[in-house]
Amino acid sequence: MNSAALTLPIEMDRGLFLDAKEARSLGELLAEDYQKASPFPHVIMDGFLPEAFIQSILDAFPAAPLETDRVFDINYGGHHKRQVQPESCPPYLREVFHFFNSAPMLQFLEGLTGINGLIADPYFEGGGLHETSAGGKLGIHADFRINPKLHLQRRMNLLVYLNPEWDDSWAGQLELWDRKMTACQAKVSPIWNRCVVFNTDADSYHGHPDPLTTPEHIKRRSIALYYYTASESIYKEVPNRSTMYQARPGDSEEIHKEARGYRVEEYLRDWLPPVALRVLYGIRRRLGR
């Protein structure tokens, strides 16, 4: 795993100011590394945010559950994971997330990835603050590809880790798998102020599938942001699938079966008309499946 040292020159005394031209130039410095990375385009940047800025984010992280939190406890598809909606956060964190959706950040990402016309998601569908507790995990998957509210194609993820104390013996490393799901090609430790950006293609498989063995007071925390592009013919170009889970070669048969079940559901939604789907689901309910 190779990482680069890059800190965005964000000025906090000017209301989270970042010069757009400077941001794009910084992104372009790592563009070749990003686009040639294996198993799919990605980059790992350490010291990504000014220290005072990232510390202010962690200090404001809502420790107590919020009414709008989304909690995942579905085993391989996400376990002991909490997703905090940015618009439910205190004012300062809302300002932080609006900054991540701003034009200067889009300029940085366009320069980095070579993908122009990026669009931020004002609803933060699936994004926000993520927190996984002891025993939690997220199975290997390729992300949903169309934003259901905005009808935009998802192009990349940006993750910033908020873990000042981390030990790799606790598991929780982000795994990047090859496109044929034969081998893990990179493991990324979720250490303090590390940023990972990667393309979200149909076969950009990633996750942290081993249960966390952290002490009870340690949470795996991160910022998660997703970016999109528009196309008039998006539904012809991109299959309207949701998240596609894949088991690793060494995983148990139970996990392989569970991951296959998720994929079958998505293929059924692709190929069966709505009437047939309703009939199928009705039969399943009657059979208790």
Identify which of 78, 81, 84 has the alpha carbon closest to the alpha carbon of residue 65. 84
What is this structure's pTM? Answer: 0.88
Residues 6+ apart with CB under 8 A from 256: 247
CB crowding 99-108: b at 16 or more within 10 Å, else e: bbbbebbbbb
Burial of 251 from C-beta contacts in 10 A (0-12 / 13-18 / 19+): middle
- pLDDT for the residue numbered 266: 82
- Average pLDDT of the residues in 269-289: 73
Average pLDDT score over residue span 92-101:
98
Q: List, in order of start, the domains of the chain with CATH numbers.
A: 4-234 (2.60.120.620)
Name residue 15's beta-bridge partners.
none
Handedness of CA 190, 75, 81, 198 (dihedral sign): positive
For position 287, what pLDDT does the model report?
Answer: 67
pLDDT at 267: 82
Residue with tokens 């020159």: 9
Side-chain-side CA neighbours of residue 232 (13 Å): 0
Any alpha helices (H) in 30-84, and if so which ranges?
A: 31-36, 51-60
**Dihedral pair phi/psi, residue 4, rounded to 5°:** -115, 150
Instruction: Say if residues 134 and 212 touch (Cβ distance below 8 Å).
Output: yes
Give the ranges where the chain is alpha helix by DSSP (H).
Answer: 20-29, 31-36, 51-60, 91-100, 103-113, 234-237, 253-271, 274-287
Would you state the pLDDT for residue 86?
97
8 A C-beta contact, residue 23 and residue 111? yes
**pLDDT tens digits, one per residue of 147-188:** 989 999 999 999 999 999 999 999 999 999 999 999 999 999
pLDDT of residue 235: 60
pLDDT value, residue 205: 98
Q: What is the pLDDT of residues 36-54, one digit of tens each?
A: 999 999 999 999 999 999 9
Whether pLDDT at 99 is above 60: yes
* pLDDT given for residue 239 in this prediction: 63
Cβ neighbors of 58 (< 8 A, separation 6 or more) are 162, 164, 221
Task: Report the largest interatomic distance among the alpha carbons of the chain, rounded to a whole angstrom.
Answer: 62
Number of H helices, E strands in the chain: 8, 13
Please tell me the predicted confidence (pLDDT) of residue 241: 64
- Cβ neighbours, 10 Å, residue 121: 18
CA distance to 15, 17, 194, 253, 288, per residue, from 11 (Å): 7, 5, 19, 51, 57
Q: With contact defined as beta carbons under 8 Å apart, do 234 and 153 qualify?
A: yes
Strands 220-229 and 79-84: unpaired
Distance from first CA to last CA of the chain, Å, rounded?
A: 42
Of the ranges 123-132, 227-236, 259-268, 269-278, the best mean pLDDT one: 123-132
Q: Could you read off the pLDDT of 211-228 as tens digits, one per residue?
A: 999 999 999 999 999 999
Closest CA to 152 of 240, 87, 224: 240
Residue 217 DSSP symbol: T
